[in-house]
């Protein structure tokens, strides 16, 4: 059975869906029009749709007589809170909603999963397993929509879960699969440096939190370079420094640092808050200031199940050959709340390359000029369909 050929024949339908979603991005927890479109399409395929009360996330079930296994396929629906850069690559489907843009690829994820649903629900690709098509809200906004949907029962009766994310940093059409830790735990922190403000001409009479904040930023990096095994992955990034009123001659009383931590190790993740707080207090105290830490845990480490990995690897090779696989893939330090499903059931998350330098498609996820090579999207639809049929 030529599953990829059947998926490729539906390219224009997948492209149409992707562009419809792309032009109408909606932020986390507000995906009403997006969810409505997905539900309408799934119901048009004859699939019963479950829409839990109070949320935009939903799922649809394909029941296969005699099937002894149920697989969950997940796509995320929300857009990023950012402006999209206009350019010829958008071809008339630029975001119509100010302050929102599908610059991560969730529009492509939905289009690929709906493409797979069409193949399987129509019987064009006969499924050997029951399939739950899950369209998740709020992936971009911790604590994330996965927790809501799990509480609503989306994993009831599910034996394994699979998800796919597009990456322009990978060659178009190549899949990256890896067992074990695949994406990082992603947490956020705020450190408030407390001093004593006043006239900038008389700093000796004050407790200046600005140089104290600079010392804290520098000291935090030593937690990576000198307090962590160099063979372990840890990122500590201060992404925002805010203090003062914007005037030239007033030293503020407080400076606020905001940042993120990323690690592939559960053990390191548990140690980070205590070490952040101790380091920040010591560095600030050296300047006569105090420091307070607020630490917010986000998504856990996403760990791919080895049996699910072997299944996905076999399906990918069967559909696309060895050339469809990215050699020597590496984990990504980005965070994903697909990890919530992987904590509950055997799961596999994969990347699909959508980069095409010859077409000018090179911008990374979350860049204002992000785009995908749409020619690769039928491969994603075929991958999901293959997991159901092979």
CB 94 within 8 A of CB 85: no
Q: In this structure, are strands 160-171 and 70-76 parallel, antiparallel, or unpaired?
A: parallel
Both tokens of 96, joined, read 């119509």
Residues present in the chain in total: 390
Can you tell me the distance from the alpha carbon of 275 to that of 222, in angstroms, rounded to the nearest whole number? 11
Helix (H, G, I), strand (E, B) or coil at 296: strand
Strand order in the sheet with 290-299: 234-243, 254-263, 185-194, 290-299
Can you tell me the distance from the alpha carbon of 153 to that of 124, in angstroms, rounded to the nearest whole number? 29
Q: Measure the CA dihedral 214/216/217/222, to 10°.
A: 130
Can you tell me the distance from the alpha carbon of 245 to that of 42, in angstroms, rounded to the nearest whole number? 52
- Known catalytic residues are 299, 374
Both tokens of 273, joined, read 């808050």
- Would you state the pLDDT for residue 246? 86
Residue whose entry in the numeric block shows the structure tokens 């992707």? 18
Both tokens of 171, joined, read 């060659």
In 3D space, the residue among 31, 166, 20 whose CA is nearest the CA of residue 93 turns out to be 20
> How crowded is residue 18: how many other Cβ atoms within 10 Å of its Cβ?
24
Work out the widest C-alpha separation in the chain, in whole angstroms.
Answer: 81
- Would you state the pLDDT for residue 89? 63
- Would you state the pLDDT for residue 19? 96
> Which CATH number is 185-299's, of 3.30.70.360, 1.10.1040.10, 3.60.21.10, 3.40.1440.60?
3.30.70.360
CB 8 within 8 A of CB 385: no
Distance set, CA 30 to CA 81, 105, 210, 231, 335 (Å): 12, 17, 38, 41, 21
In 3D space, the residue among 282, 193, 209, 284 whose CA is nearest the CA of residue 252 turns out to be 209
In 3D space, the residue among 34, 63, 65 whose CA is nearest the CA of residue 51 turns out to be 34
In terms of CATH architecture, what is 3-182+301-389?
3-Layer(aba) Sandwich (3.40)
Residue whose entry in the numeric block shows the structure tokens 């990890």? 339
In 3D space, the residue among 298, 286, 193 whose CA is nearest the CA of residue 241 turns out to be 193
* pTM of the predicted model over 0.95: no
Buried b (16+ CB within 10 A) or exposed e, 271-288: ebbeebbebbbebbeebe
Domain ranges of the chain: 3-182+301-389, 185-299
Q: HSE (CB half, 13 Å, CA atoms) of 91? A: 11
Query: pLDDT 10s digit of each residue in the chain, 390 long?
Result: 899 999 999 999 999 999 999 999 999 999 999 999 999 999 999 999 999 999 999 999 999 999 999 999 999 999 999 999 987 666 789 999 999 999 999 999 999 999 999 999 999 999 999 999 999 999 999 899 999 999 999 999 999 999 999 999 999 999 999 999 999 999 999 999 999 999 999 999 999 999 999 999 999 999 999 999 998 999 999 999 999 988 999 999 999 999 999 999 999 999 999 999 999 999 999 999 999 999 999 999 999 999 999 999 999 999 999 999 999 999 999 999 999 999 999 999 999 999 999 999 999 999 999 999 999 999 999 999 999 999
């Amino acid at each position: 059975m030529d599953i990829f050929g059947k998926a490729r024949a539906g390219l224009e339908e997948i492209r149409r869906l992707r562009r419809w979603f792309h032009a109408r991005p909606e932020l986390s927890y507000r995906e009403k029009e997006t969810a409505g479109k997905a539900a309408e399409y799934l119901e048009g395929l004859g699939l019963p749709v479950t829409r839990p009360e109070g949320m935009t996330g939903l799922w649809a079930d394909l029941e296969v007589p005699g099937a002894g296994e149920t697989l969950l396929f997940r796509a995320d629906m929300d857009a990023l809170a950012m402006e999209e850069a206009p350019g010829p690559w958008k071809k008339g489907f630029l975001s119509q909603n100010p302050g929102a843009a599908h610059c991560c690829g969730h529009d492509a994820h939905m289009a690929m999963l709906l493409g797979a649903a069409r193949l399987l629900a129509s019987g064009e690709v006969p499924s050997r397993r029951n399939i739950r098509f899950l369209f998740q809200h709020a992936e971009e906004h911790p604590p994330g929509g996965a927790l809501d949907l799990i509480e609503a029962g989306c994993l009831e009766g599910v034996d394994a879960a699979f998800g796919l994310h597009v990456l322009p940093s990978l060659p178009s059409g190549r899949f990256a699969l890896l067992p074990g830790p695949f994406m990082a735990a992603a947490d956020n922190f705020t450190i408030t440096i407390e001093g004593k403000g006043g006239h900038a001409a008389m700093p000796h009479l004050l407790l200046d939190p600005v140089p104290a904040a600079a010392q804290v930023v520098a000291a935090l990096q030593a937690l990576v370079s000198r307090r962590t095994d160099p063979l372990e992955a840890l990122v500590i990034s201060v992404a925002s420094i805010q203090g003062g009123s914007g005037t030239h001659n007033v030293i503020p009383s407080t400076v606020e640092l905001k940042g993120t931590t990323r690690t592939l190790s559960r053990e390191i993740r548990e140690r980070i808050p205590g070490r952040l707080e101790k380091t920040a207090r010591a560095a600030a105290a050296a300047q006569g200031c105090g420091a307070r830490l607020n630490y917010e845990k986000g998504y856990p480490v996403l760990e791919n199940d080895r049996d699910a990995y072997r299944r996905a690897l076999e399906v990918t090779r069967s559909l696309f050959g060895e050339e469809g696989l990215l050699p020597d893939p590496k984990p990504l330090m980005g965070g994903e709340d697909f990890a919530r499903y992987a904590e509950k059931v055997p799961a596999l998350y994969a990347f699909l390359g959508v980069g095409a330098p010859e077409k000018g498609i090179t911008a990374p996820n979350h860049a204002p000029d992000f785009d995908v090579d749409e020619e690769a999207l039928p491969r994603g639809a075929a991958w999901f369909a293959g997991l159901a049929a092979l």
